[in-house]
Structure 1
Amino acid sequence: MMSDDVIYLDYNASTPCDPRVVEAMLPYLTCTFANPSSRHHRPGRDAFTALEEARSTVARFLGAKSVTEIVFTSGATEANNLALMGVAGAWGGRGRHIVTQVTEHPSVLEPLIHLRDIGWDVTEIGVDSDGRIRLDELSGALRDDTVLISLMLANNETGVLQPVAQAAELARERGALIHCDAAQAVGKLAVDVAALNIDLLTLSGHKFYAPKGIGALFMRRSRPPLRLPPLVRGGGHEYGLRSGTPNLPGAVALARALEIASGDLETEMGRLADLRDRLETEMVGELDDCSVNGSRVHRLPGTSNLSFSGIEGNALLASLPDLAVSTGSACTPAHSQASPVLLAMGVQPALAKASLRLSVGRFTTAEEVDRAAARIIEEVTRLRST
């Protein structure tokens, strides 16, 4: 879905707004538009009620125990920064050691680099050839002064899933907190914060058919309550964690998008997995030296990362103006360097530079998958012959 001449296969980078989401948010752009903080008049109270109803919906679908555990943000990048910098500010007196893994998203790795620069000790554990951490290595990295484990649920480039629930058990044993970047997982998988047993979770609406500019942080308020200092100070909004007039249309859209995604999750997961497998089968079957990167078992249903030997990924991208695909994370500038995620998995640099990320979504059809596979096969064959 995009236009008649471009096939969109970059759903991990962003998704279109579902028309039902647009319909839900429109009244809050034109009618119920008042500031939710202006509760001294009825329009403000109506807006506040809508905001809290959206918060309640998000809490319910994430399995949160209380609506106060949901903090609306501008997206997962802000939420990750709030979580990581907040833990550093609140828990620094207990220890100054954080454990993460090398294939995390830049919105996790960059704040951790900053913390390292100001005196924190950050341990980055490796991944195996499937892109998954080894729990024994994680356990061995934990220390008496470890205050946090930060571990993504699903990788943005490969779709590989990490054993977050098992990592949470290790965190509990050592008295550490656990933060999970779930931006690529929420809306695509069943995500329950209680089942995962985590303290902090971040999500981004535009990854599951809500608009850009809205996200959320789940922050545990029990066992005992987790309290963090804010990044943005001003009006004390979002329980004092995120000042600024709330994005009411965005919050309503986020809640509706999560509601829609949860409604037929199992069916959609199966459909996307079928499309992904169809795409991979066609290309691996037709092209020599075409390989799938990452676990074939523990991964998102709609994500495929493929390497094609003998070519450059950027050259392949340039030859496919009719396809919207990617060579890696959409959050890093376009360049010709090999993906750090693939390199960490042991993929050879030449192959890592010859990779494509293909991600299907709600509006992808089998006919589009077949056309895309044919075009990629055509261009890989041509590039190899030149």
Structure 2
Amino acid sequence: MSWIYLDNNATTKIDPNVLESMLPFLQESYGNPSSVQHKMGREANQAIELARHQIALKLQVKDSEIFFNSGATEGINTVIRGVVQSYKKKGQHIITCQTEHKAVLNTCAHLEKKGVEITYLPVNKKGEIDLGLLRNSIRKDTILVCIMAANNESGVIHPIVEIAQICQEHDVLYCCDATQLIGKQEINLQHIPIDLLIFSAHKIHGPKGVGVLYIRRKTKPIQIPALITGGKQEQGLRGGTLNVPMIVGCGKAVEIAKNHAQIRLYRDHLEKQILERIPQVVIHGKEAKRLDNTSFIAFRHIKSAELMTSLPHLVLSSGSACASGLLDPSHVLKAMTVNDDDAFSSIRFSLSKFTERDEIERAIEELVQTVHNVRQLSPIWKLFNEGRIE
């Protein structure tokens, strides 16, 4: 039996159209885009600029506001570390959220040791932030608000329009990690005053190892020094030879990315069947505004690791790919006040445009049967049925 891939928030299958756009720059047009003295170099340079334009067009921004890097983690480090370095005179206070990606949280934790003050906004049980609390947390020395567009584990979508407006009112930079929202919802940056936006190509059926950093051109330019120094590539923001095939693939992936209505239909069908056919399940953030493709479900009284091992044909995860293998429960679920037992029992399902209805039906049948089988052998499930534990 073939695999059923339901881990698309971790990474996605490359789109054939994206791969086709990349191949010429892996085989024939392999020139260095900085070598504009000859034709092959100019061809590579033109391909880079086409990709930049494709992305700028999608976001409704200027080509000169788009910068390429290795992915969202590098973009996050570039922004947070760079803003701290450049805005010392204004202050050393950053606001973020307890459910951010570890790339943000670990970078902030590192900077805390160097004297930067970080405010970590809590979320409610649905995974939502309090906009009033955000507003009240901004101080005169606040230099940056870093809050993602959509959570990679729960799928909960944050109100980025309102967040951007609050930051604009207080003259504070807003950095948005849009890695999970790009390609699933439209983001028109003409209408949303986000200052800095970050995403990776491999979440939208593009190649791994390439990402985008958007920096708004303001009357007073945003000051961010290079994280990687070298040549003058990317207007001096990131040194190093540009990875032409990956950038071309990134541009193509963004150009063709769009929301597909069947994804939500399949996700909702999956959840409905699980709720009806499997007892003692909890869908995290179900009442919140969520990504159409994401469902984070606790199968109570079973360890997620045990359940996934018993489902060899289903490709699933217990949360963020960057945190897999850790002994601690999901920091996202902990912030949502989910108890440890339910957190350790949770599995994330994330669909894509390549997910088929037949795969969802097969996954449901395997889940129903496997959950039943594993629980029948579980002493914890026996204790629950006897009413000795809740």
Tell me the TM-score normalized by structure 2: 0.94
Q: How does 1:9-88 map to 2 (within 5 A)?
A: 9-64=6-61, 66-88=62-84
Task: For residue 52 of structure 1, give the secondary structure of its aligned residue in structure 2.
Answer: helix
- Please name the residue that 1:372 is paired with: 363
Q: How does 1:257-296 map to 2 (within 5 A)?
A: 257-262=253-258, 265=259, 268=260, 270-296=261-287
Give the conservation status (yes or no) of the 8 Å contact 2:168–2:193: no
Q: How does 1:236-315 map to 2 (within 5 A)?
A: 236-262=232-258, 265=259, 268=260, 270-315=261-306
Structure 2 Cα separation of the partners of residues 296 and 261 of structure 1 = 27
Give the conservation status (yes or no) of the 8 Å contact 2:102–2:322: yes
Q: Is it true that 1:143 corresponds to 2:134 in the alignment?
A: no
Q: Is it true that 1:325 corresponds to 2:316 in the alignment?
A: yes
Structure 2 Cα separation of the partners of residues 92 and 253 of structure 1 = 37
- Please name the residue that 2:201 is paired with: 205
Structure 2 Cα separation of the partners of residues 130 and 63 of structure 1 = 31
Question: Could you tell me how far 1:191 is from its partner in structure 2?
Answer: 1.6
Task: For residue 41 of structure 2, give the secondary structure of its aligned residue in structure 1.
Answer: helix
Give the conservation status (yes or no) of the 8 Å contact 2:284–2:298: yes
Identity of aligned residues (%): 40
- Please name the residue that 2:216 is paired with: 220
Structure 1 Cα separation of the partners of residues 21 and 218 of structure 2 = 32
Question: Could you tell me how far 1:301 is from its partner in structure 2?
Answer: 0.6
Question: Could you tell me how far 1:316 is from its partner in structure 2?
Answer: 0.8
Structure 2 Cα separation of the partners of residues 94 and 343 of structure 1 = 33
Give the conservation status (yes or no) of the 8 Å contact 2:127–2:288: no
Give the conservation status (yes or no) of the 8 Å contact 2:126–2:288: no
Question: Could you tell me how far 1:271 is from its partner in structure 2?
Answer: 1.0
1:134 to 101, 114, 130: 130
Q: How does 1:341-360 map to 2 (within 5 A)?
A: 341-360=332-351
Letter in 1 for 2:150: A
Q: Is it true that 1:123 corresponds to 2:123 in the alignment?
A: no
Task: For residue 14 of structure 2, give the secondary structure of its aligned residue in structure 1.
Answer: coil
Task: For residue 14 of structure 1, give the secondary structure of its aligned residue in structure 2.
Answer: coil
Structure 1 Cα separation of the partners of residues 359 and 287 of structure 2 = 22
1:157 to 143, 150, 153: 153
Give the conservation status (yes or no) of the 8 Å contact 1:39–1:48: yes
- Please name the residue that 1:194 is paired with: 190
Give the conservation status (yes or no) of the 8 Å contact 2:100–2:147: yes
Give the conservation status (yes or no) of the 8 Å contact 2:36–2:42: yes
Tell me the TM-score normalized by structure 1: 0.95
Structure 2 Cα separation of the partners of residues 146 and 70 of structure 1 = 25
Letter in 2 for 1:123: T
Q: Is it true that 1:7 corresponds to 2:1 in the alignment?
A: no
Q: Is it true that 1:385 corresponds to 2:382 in the alignment?
A: no
- Please name the residue that 2:329 is paired with: 338
When the two chains are superposed, the root-mean-square deviation of aligned CA atoms in Å is 1.1
Output one character per residue of 1:160-219: Cα deviation in whole Å (capped at 9) or x when no partner. 000111111111122110000011111111122232211000010000001101111001
Output one character per residue of 1:207-263: Cα deviation in whole Å (capped at 9) or x when no partner. 00011011110011124221310010011211111100001111111111111114x
Question: Could you tell me how far 1:346 is from its partner in structure 2?
Answer: 1.4
Give the conservation status (yes or no) of the 8 Å contact 2:296–2:347: yes
Letter in 2 for 1:18: D
Task: For residue 230 of structure 1, give the secondary structure of its aligned residue in structure 2.
Answer: coil
Give the conservation status (yes or no) of the 8 Å contact 1:303–1:360: yes
Letter in 2 for 1:205: A
Task: For residue 79 of structure 2, give the secondary structure of its aligned residue in structure 1.
Answer: helix
- Please name the residue that 1:184 is paired with: 180
Question: Could you tell me how far 1:348 is from its partner in structure 2?
Answer: 1.6
Task: For residue 259 of structure 1, give the secondary structure of its aligned residue in structure 2.
Answer: helix
Structure 2 Cα separation of the partners of residues 290 and 49 of structure 1 = 52
Give the conservation status (yes or no) of the 8 Å contact 2:178–2:199: yes
Instruction: Structure 2: state its 5+ residue gaps.
Output: 378-390
- Please name the residue that 1:95 is paired with: 91
Output one character per residue of 1:12-67: Cα deviation in whole Å (capped at 9) or x when no partner. 00001100100011111112210010111121112111111110111110121x21
Give the conservation status (yes or no) of the 8 Å contact 2:51–2:251: yes
Instruction: Count matched residues.
Output: 377
Output one character per residue of 1:63-109: Cα deviation in whole Å (capped at 9) or x when no partner. 21x21111101111111111111111111221100000000001111
Structure 1 Cα separation of the partners of residues 115 and 36 of structure 2 = 43
Task: For residue 227 of structure 1, give the secondary structure of its aligned residue in structure 2.
Answer: coil
Question: Could you tell me how far 1:295 is from its partner in structure 2?
Answer: 4.0
Instruction: Structure 1: state its 5+ residue gaps.
Output: none
Task: For residue 384 of structure 1, give the secondary structure of its aligned residue in structure 2.
Answer: helix
Structure 2 Cα separation of the partners of residues 290 and 115 of structure 1 = 39
Task: For residue 181 of structure 2, give the secondary structure of its aligned residue in structure 1.
Answer: coil
Give the conservation status (yes or no) of the 8 Å contact 2:96–2:118: yes
Letter in 1 for 2:119: T
